[in-house]
Amino acid sequence: MRRLKALLLVPLLLTSGCWDQLELEEQAFVVVIGLDKGPDNTVEVTFQIANPQVGSSDIGTAESEPSSDTVRFTASDILSAKELANSVITRTINFAHLKTMVVHEELARSALFPHIAGAAIRDPEMRREVAMIVSREKAYDFIQKNRPQLETRPHKYFELMQQRWQETGYVPYSTLNQYLQQQVIDSMFLAIYATAQSKAFRVSRGEDDYLAGQVPKESGDPVQMMGAAVFENGRMIGTLTGKQVRWSQMLRRKGNVKSFITSFSDPLDKNAMVTVRLFKNGEAKIDMNLREDPPDIHVTLPLRAQILSFASLQEYATDFGKQKLLERHLKGEIEKEVLDVIRLSQRKFGGDPFEWELIARKKFMTVKAYQNYNWPKRFKRANVDVTVTLRIDNFGKQRTPYIKTGRETG
């Protein structure tokens, strides 16, 4: 009899716990959320829903259908918009595969945004590691205009782009989780800055001294992601260029950027540039003397470099004296660029985007003592100096330029 009862319980055990699970074809998987400011303290929420047929083995079906669908609702917050969507869409909205949140700059600068972002994580499906992008235009327009040429699936596009972001350092690694965490500490938050509307672009001698919309690009997907939106106390207060973002992340003791390619002027030819790959050669060392007022901060940034190219045709590869000259020149140029970013943070933003607040906290015995010190206020007036230790691994290969002689005939 006991054996019979056990056998009767097996089907119940196998089916229990699955009663609330929906079939895949009954769900609408949102891969991108767009947020725009609506009327009367509401928010316009855009859902970009992936088409599961695109990228599937059913090639005939996939080729005839769009990769995603976009719907928009006006509500008090994201959860309310999700509820509205579930009342008019045949499938159930699901955030399990959400990759990206796009926020219009107007909303990001408003007092409403911290409340919208804070309410979003109350949904158990909302992933805290969602990438956070601030768009210059409305988020809805940004999503609509984003038409990548090499990747039709929107979720895969943003997944691959996040990998590229970390490799180049042009934009910060920013997530919803980091945004929420840095509202409770004294460091600023950097979000990816993007646009699908190009300005009249300017050509810079450096390939990284741009904001989104300024990159000299004339074809392909109109979307540009370059630089960062700077947040303080949950609200956007300004922007950093791609170059400034790179150095900001290098100044963090545990930044995501390990190397990048950039250019500097040639010390022996002011009209030529030297292209180098810079590597982080250990963690940045931040020494603080907080007993002084204003405090003294000394930064040591260990780097190594590989010379990739130089247009001046100087004999850097073989001339030791010129090698030392180039090394001193690069060291000085880097120190100047790093100091410029620090002073910009102090004078324009009045805050610390380098996460040095975490170092300052350790100087105090209690939380109350640290709070009484008022790190953001003291950082604005701090005396900061920077020392770069630079080691050049190689100076590249160089060949003697070919010169045609008069003896040669055409």
347 within domain boundaries: yes
Paired strand residues for 191: 229
**Which of 19-23, 69-73, 265-269 bottoms out in mean pLDDT, i.e. has the lowest?**
19-23
Q: Are residues 337 and 386 in the same domain?
A: yes
3-state secondary structure of 222: coil
238-248: average pLDDT: 94
Domain boundary among 250, 285, 314: 250
Q: Are residues 211 and 280 in the same domain?
A: no
Q: Are residues 170 and 117 in the same domain?
A: yes
Overall domain count for the chain: 2
Domain boundary among 200, 215, 250: 250
Q: Are residues 294 and 157 in the same domain?
A: no
Pseudo-torsion of CA 309, 314, 318, 323, nearest 10°?
-80
Q: Are residues 274 and 220 in the same domain?
A: no
2 within domain boundaries: no
408 within domain boundaries: no
For the cut 90, the answer to whether the pLDDT of residue 160 exceeds it is no
317 within domain boundaries: yes
Q: Are residues 157 and 40 in the same domain?
A: yes
Q: How is residue 25 annotated by DSSP?
A: G
Q: Are residues 238 and 304 in the same domain?
A: no
Residue 151 or residue 326, greater confidence: 326
1 within domain boundaries: no
Residue 89 or residue 34, greater confidence: 34
Domain of 110, in residue numbers: 26-250
Tens-digit pLDDT profile for residues 322-377: 999 999 999 999 999 999 999 999 999 998 899 999 999 999 999 999 999 999 89
355 within domain boundaries: yes
Q: Are residues 225 and 133 in the same domain?
A: yes
Tens-digit pLDDT profile for residues 190-205: 999 999 887 655 555 5
DSSP string, 244-277: HHHHHHHTSTT-S--EEEEEEEETTEEEEEEEEE
176 within domain boundaries: yes
Q: Are residues 56 and 202 in the same domain?
A: yes
Q: To 5 degrees, how large is the angle CA 130–CA 162–CA 302?
A: 115
